[in-house]
Amino acid sequence: MAEPTAAANLTPDAAAHPNSAALYDRARRVLPGGNTRTTVFVAPHPLYAREGHGARVTDVDGTTRIDFVNNYTALIHGHGHAATAAAVADQLARGTCFAMPTEAEVALAELLCQRLPAAERIRFTNSGTEAVMMAVKAARAYTGRPKIAKCEGAYHGSYDYVEPSLAPAPAEWGEPDPTPVAYAKGTPQAVLDDVVVLPFNDAAAAERILTPQARDLAAIIIDPMPFRVGLIPAAPAFLEFVRAFARNHGILLILDEVISFRLGYHGAQGELGVAPDLTTLGKIIGGGLPVGAVAGRAEVMAVFDPSAGKAALPHGGTFNANPLTMAAGRATMEAMTEAAYDHINALGAQARAALAEAFAAAGVPGQVSGRGSLFRVHFHDRPLTGYRAAYAQPEERARLARFYWGLIQRGVMISTDGLGAISTPMGGSEIEALAEAALGALRA
C-alpha cells in the first residue's frame, strides 16, 4: 500500500499517547527510524497496538477504536476470529513447522482452486511480494522472454521489477506515455530497461506502447483495482484488450489479487469476468498470518514441478505452506461464504455513501472511491481516470493527514493514505460511527 506522506506530521501532541511515545523511543534504538514496516509509520510516532477483538483494536494507552484498516485489508474477519483462532490452536498443539508437507496445504489449495475460475494449480509463498516475484519468474521461465509490463501507479510489492513507476511525481511522468521511473534508490538501469509502463484503463495507449515490445514481453501484470490509481476497477474494455493482446502475442496475463480477492467469492476475476494465466494472492487467504500464493493454468504452473527432475523454476522456502498459516487460511476462507461476501460488500456500499454525504454536508471538496468491501477517501473532486488524476496535491495530502487524526480522535481508524476495509464483525452501527466521525473531522 501507499506510504504516509510528509503531511502526516500534522498530528496531535505526542503527550496524548505516552505509552506509544515511549515505545517509539525504545524502537528508535534498535530499528532504523524506529520502524520495520514503512506503511505503518506516522510522525511524530505511530500508535502501538495492544490487542484487537472483532471490529475494534485497543492501543497501548488503552484507547479502543473501530478498525477500518484491518491490517491493510488482510483481516477480513477482524481480530480474534473464533474459528481461525481454534484452527491455529489445534495446529499449534501438533507442531508449528516441518521439513515435510502437510494435509493443511492440500486442503487450502483445494479450496482456493475451487474458488478461482482460472486456477488449476497453486503454490504458496510467505507474502504477496513473494507471490508476485514468483509469478514474474514463472512467466519468464515459461515464455523465455525478459520483459514485463505494468500500470503506472500500481503497487505489486517490494520486488525490483514491479516497483518502477509506483509513485512518480508529476515531473517524472513522461509525455504522452509513462516513462519507467525508479521507486527505490539504487534500482539498476537494467531493471528499468526490462519494464514497460502503461496508463491504467487506456486500451488505445496500451496497444500503442505494447505493440513494439510484444516479442520481448513475458507478462503483463494488472491489479484489477489498484489503490494508488484511485481504487477504481479496471474497465471491461481495458481488461478485454489486455487479455486478447496477451493471448495473441504469447504473453502471460498476471492478475494481482493480493487485495482484490476480497471483492467476491470468486475474487475480482469472477466479478469482472477475466481469465488470467496466473493469479497472485495474499492477505485474506492467511487468516492474519504471513502468506502469499501464485496460482494459474496447469501448463504454466508446471515450471515449478520437480517431480520429473530439476524444475524449470526451482522454488524453495523454509516457511512456504507453513501449517499454522494453512490452517488459519482454511478456517478463514471457509467462513467467507457467499452470504459473508454479500454482508461486507453491502456495508462497503453504505460506507462509501455515508462518507460522500459527510463531504457534502461539511462543504469540503472530496469524493470516495472503491468497490465491494473497500473504500478510499480523496480530498479533491477530479474525475478518477487513472494515477495522474488521483495523484494528491500537497494541500490535499495535508487535508487527508488532518482528517486521519480527526478520525483517530473520534474513535475510528482508517489508513493514513485514506484506505478503509470492512470486516465481517461490522454492522450498521460501525458504519454510523464512521459517518459521524468523518463529518466531525471534516467540519473541524
- pLDDT tens track for 309-330: 999 999 999 999 999 999 999 9
Residues 44 and 134 in one domain: no
Strand order in the sheet with 195-198: 121-125, 292-296, 278-282, 252-256, 217-222, 147-151, 195-198
Residues 198 and 165 in one domain: yes
pLDDT at 15: 73
Residues 362 and 405 in one domain: yes
Nearest to 224 by CA among 264, 272, 277, 262: 272
Q: Which three cell numbers stand for residue 283?
A: 492477505
Assigned domain for 260 exists: yes
pLDDT bin (cut points 50, 70, 90) of residue 2 is: very low
pLDDT at 13: 58
d(CA 368, CA 384): 10
Q: Domain with 115 in it: what CATH number? A: 3.40.640.10
Assigned domain for 4 exists: no
Residues 193 and 225 in one domain: yes
Residues 434 and 342 in one domain: yes
d(CA 206, CA 196): 10
Q: Domain with 393 in it: what CATH number? A: 3.90.1150.10
Pairing of strands 292-296, 252-256: unpaired
Give the domain range for residue 28.
9-76+338-443
Residues 278 and 360 in one domain: no
Residues 177 and 270 in one domain: yes
pLDDT bin (cut points 50, 70, 90) of residue 308 is: confident
- Check if the beta carbon of residue 108 is closer than 8 Å to that of residue 292: no
- pLDDT tens track for 377-408: 999 999 999 999 999 999 999 999 999 999 99
d(CA 71, CA 160): 24
d(CA 136, CA 157): 12
Between 3 and 438, the higher pLDDT residue: 438
Q: Per-residue pLDDT averaged across 168-187, rounded? A: 95
Residues 100 and 200 in one domain: yes
Q: Per-residue pLDDT averaged across 15-32, rounded? A: 94
- pLDDT tens track for 132-172: 999 999 999 999 999 999 999 999 999 999 999 999 999 99
d(CA 63, CA 57): 8
| Final residue belonging to a domain, choices 335, 354, 385 | 335
Quote the percentage of the chain above a pLDDT of 70. Answer: 97
Rg of the Cα trace of the chain? 21
Residues 409 and 427 in one domain: yes
Q: Which three cell numbers stand for residue 299?
A: 501448463
Query: What is the domain count for the chain?
Result: 2
- Check if the beta carbon of residue 344 is closer than 8 Å to that of residue 423: yes
- pLDDT tens track for 80-123: 999 999 999 999 999 999 999 999 999 999 999 999 999 999 99
Residues 330 and 342 in one domain: no
Quote the percentage of the chain above a pLDDT of 90. Answer: 95
Residues 328 and 343 in one domain: no
pLDDT at 11: 53
Flag the least confident range among 13-17, 203-207, 221-225, 346-350: 13-17
- Check if the beta carbon of residue 391 is closer than 8 Å to that of residue 378: no
* CA pseudo-torsion sign 244, 248, 249, 251: positive
Residues 232 and 289 in one domain: yes
> Is residue 7 predicted with pLDDT exceeding 80?
no
| Final residue belonging to a domain, choices 335, 363, 395 | 335
| Final residue belonging to a domain, choices 317, 335, 353 | 335
pLDDT at 43: 85
Strand order in the sheet with 419-421: 367-369, 374-378, 419-421
pLDDT bin (cut points 50, 70, 90) of residue 344 is: very high
d(CA 276, CA 242): 10
pLDDT at 4: 34
- Check if the beta carbon of residue 156 is closer than 8 Å to that of residue 162: yes
